[in-house]
A and B are shown apart, each in its own frame.
Chain A
Amino acid sequence: MRYMMLIYSIEDPNGLAPEEKKQVWEAHSRVMQEAGRKGVLRGAEPLSPTTTATTVRVQDGKTLVTDGPFAETKEQLAGYYIIDCENLDEAIEWAAKIPTACKGGGGCIEVRPMPGLPARPQPDAVADHAAILNG
């Protein structure tokens, strides 16, 4: 089953020192290579920092657009991996290898199972989406 590893990082406007940056990216590189080698990597991308975020809410038919992430928390979403794992313990092992200091300060990884969309025939658009995503 696929698991998404959501990387939460403390955003430091000064960013990382060059040496630290190098270490972080090397660690990411190692994880991607290892997961790639094992054929279990399904995706991995960084996100631009929350200074570039925009939040969209639709209320009473009106579209409300605001600057910034949906919640002001100490640690913010910085990126993600999607890795195909046998079980949660395996997912945890991967998560422990992923660096979380990407945006300046160390944080944590939230591990969420991706149950996928049902492949069973459904009398609506869900079936089309499942078909698109499941390939």
Chain B
Amino acid sequence: MQESFAAALASWPDKGIPENPAAWITTTAHRKLIDAVRKEKTRHEKQDSLRYEIDRAGRNEDADLDEAAMHFPDDRLRLIFTCCHPALNSEAQVALTLRTLGGLSTPEIAKAFLVPEATLAQRLVRAKRKIQDARIPYEVPPPDRLPERLAATQAVIYLIFNEGYSATTGSSLVRNDLCAEAIRLARVLCDLLPQEAENIGLLALMLLQDSRRNARVIDGALVTLEEQDRSLWDRVQIAEGLTLVERALRLGPVGPYQLQAAIAALHAQAQTAQETDWRQIAALYAKLLELNPSPVIALNGAVAVAMSAGIDEGLKEIDELGHTGSLDHYYLFHAARADLLRRLNRYRDAAEAYERAVNIATNGIELEFLKRRLLEMKSH
């Protein structure tokens, strides 16, 4: 696996991924995709049948749109792109995708997102209304639009996963049902568009992150990656994740999900925290930063630098990030800074940073963890 990463890193041109990802799907491939499905009625008929379904579903919340989703790959592909259309807001995309393609009922989705059922139902009604009134088409986007629409779809799926993986509010940290749904949806996307490296990368990333679910929270308390009992990791999922990462990287072109999956793979392969190949991880973060210059990624990269090149190095990078001010309201920035200060035994500075993190964090379990660390620092 190390060789694949090294080879991939070496072979990527210095400029990074190609500017125009439209080359991913050639016109031929796109045509093949459409031709490969069963003989279809005209587009208008399909559109009418979807409108009919939307009407029916609008009148009766439990109407089974899943039926359309089950039967034909072309329908499922169209549904995914329609549910994730950028003209719908993020909440609507998530609700609609889970309702029409996911295996969850309206009450289940409401519970997973900690909103009243009536609110979720309203969200669905408004989304379907928008599709109808603005005439969002029931279509697979044309080749020149496919890359950005695919990215939007992947983003919705990953959003669902993250909601389950690290709930922003509430007392539990992991909502397994959402993670499982997101993984299922990613599998569907992979089935439908198997030549898309980022689809495979996304699935791999989620499988690898999810493989740690049983080790992350013990007796209601958060356990960091470093301290987790790795025997509790789901090895079957890890095996699948590792295979998929390799497949994606070989397929190319490289993209952010694949890189994140590669990082998760390096963690998964380390038998103990001490054996983690932080140097490779830092290199991968650097590549990721090229594609996606976000301060959050820079933060993660700085942590990797701290673990590979030395805490002082990492702290220097984090403090530079701090000067931009863009991460001031991001509790993980303060938590990461606090953690590095803690490792340097700078207890007072660490306490100050943990304090700031505590003031911003919203998840109950993470808050408890940060408060514990704060107490530890204050006890010195």
Residues of A within 8 A of B (CB): 1, 86-89, 92, 111, 113, 115
* Interface pair B133/A87, CB less than 8 Å apart: no
Partner-contacting stretch, out of B16-24, B101-109, B136-144, B241-249: B136-144
Distance from A11 Cβ to chain B, minimum over Cβ atoms (Å): 27
Of the residues B85, B135, B141, contact of A1 by C-beta under 8 Å = B135
- Tell me the count of chain B residues lying within 8 A, CB to CB, of chain A: 11
Contact with A along B131-175 (1 / 0, CB 8 A): 001111101010001000000000000000000000000000000
Residues of B within 8 A of A (CB): 47, 85, 87, 133-137, 139, 141, 145
How many angstroms from the CA of A115 to the CA of B133 in the assembled complex? 8
Name the B residues within 8 Å of A86 (CB-CB).
135, 137
* Interface pair A113/B133, CB less than 8 Å apart: yes
How many angstroms from the CA of A17 to the CA of B297 in the assembled complex? 40
Name the A residues within 8 Å of B87 (CB-CB).
88, 92
* Interface pair B137/A89, CB less than 8 Å apart: yes
Chain A interface mostly helix, strand, loop or mixed? mixed
Name the B residues within 8 Å of A87 (CB-CB).
47, 135-137, 139
How many angstroms from the CA of A87 to the CA of B145 in the assembled complex? 15
Distance from B243 Cβ to chain A, minimum over Cβ atoms (Å): 36
Name the B residues within 8 Å of A115 (CB-CB).
133
Name the A residues within 8 Å of B136 (CB-CB).
87-89
Name the A residues within 8 Å of B85 (CB-CB).
88
* Interface pair B134/A113, CB less than 8 Å apart: yes
* Interface pair B134/A89, CB less than 8 Å apart: no
Name the A residues within 8 Å of B139 (CB-CB).
87, 89
* Sample of 12 A–B contacts (CB below 8 Å): A1-B135, A86-B135, A87-B47, A87-B135, A87-B136, A87-B137, A88-B136, A89-B137, A89-B141, A111-B134, A113-B135, A115-B133
Distance from B84 Cβ to chain A, minimum over Cβ atoms (Å): 13
Instruction: Determine the residue in chain B with the shortest Cβ distance to A85.
Output: B135
How many angstroms from the CA of A89 to the CA of B137 in the assembled complex? 7
Name the A residues within 8 Å of B134 (CB-CB).
88, 111, 113
Distance from A22 Cβ to chain B, minimum over Cβ atoms (Å): 28
How many angstroms from the CA of A115 to the CA of B85 in the assembled complex? 21
Instruction: Determine the residue in chain B with the shortest Cβ distance to A89.
Output: B137
| Besides A88-B136, A92-B87, 11 new A-B residue pairs in contact (Cβ under 8 A), listed by A number | A86-B135, A87-B47, A87-B135, A87-B136, A87-B139, A88-B134, A88-B135, A88-B137, A89-B139, A89-B145, A113-B133
Name the A residues within 8 Å of B133 (CB-CB).
113, 115
Distance from B127 Cβ to chain A, minimum over Cβ atoms (Å): 14
Instruction: Determine the residue in chain A with the shortest Cβ distance to B43.
Output: A86
Instruction: Determine the residue in chain B with the shortest Cβ distance to A1.
Output: B135
Instruction: Determine the residue in chain A with the shortest Cβ distance to B139.
Output: A89
How many angstroms from the CA of A88 to the CA of B87 in the assembled complex? 9
Name the A residues within 8 Å of B47 (CB-CB).
87
How many angstroms from the CA of A111 to the CA of B136 in the assembled complex? 12
The 8 lowest CB-CB distance pairs between A and B, nearest first, are A87-B137, A87-B135, A88-B134, A88-B136, A88-B135, A113-B134, A89-B137, A88-B87
Residue among B47, B135, B137 facing the most chain A CB atoms (10 A cut-off): B135
Name the B residues within 8 Å of A1 (CB-CB).
135
How many angstroms from the CA of A87 to the CA of B47 in the assembled complex? 11
Residue among A1, A87, A92 facing the most chain B CB atoms (10 A cut-off): A87
Instruction: Determine the residue in chain B with the shortest Cβ distance to A115.
Output: B133
Name the B residues within 8 Å of A89 (CB-CB).
136-137, 139, 141, 145
Name the B residues within 8 Å of A113 (CB-CB).
133-135
Instruction: Determine the residue in chain B with the shortest Cβ distance to A111.
Output: B134
Distance from B148 Cβ to chain A, minimum over Cβ atoms (Å): 11
Distance from B222 Cβ to chain A, minimum over Cβ atoms (Å): 43
Name the A residues within 8 Å of B137 (CB-CB).
86-89
Instruction: Determine the residue in chain B with the shortest Cβ distance to A90.
Output: B137
Name the A residues within 8 Å of B135 (CB-CB).
1, 86-88, 113
How many angstroms from the CA of A88 to the CA of B137 in the assembled complex? 7
Name the B residues within 8 Å of A88 (CB-CB).
85, 87, 134-137
Name the B residues within 8 Å of A111 (CB-CB).
134
Distance from A37 Cβ to chain B, minimum over Cβ atoms (Å): 20
Name the B residues within 8 Å of A92 (CB-CB).
87
Instruction: Determine the residue in chain A with the shortest Cβ distance to B135.
Output: A87
How many angstroms from the CA of A111 to the CA of B137 in the assembled complex? 15
Distance from B78 Cβ to chain A, minimum over Cβ atoms (Å): 12
Distance from A84 Cβ to chain B, minimum over Cβ atoms (Å): 12
Distance from B85 Cβ to chain A, minimum over Cβ atoms (Å): 8
Distance from B46 Cβ to chain A, minimum over Cβ atoms (Å): 12
How many angstroms from the CA of A1 to the CA of B133 in the assembled complex? 10
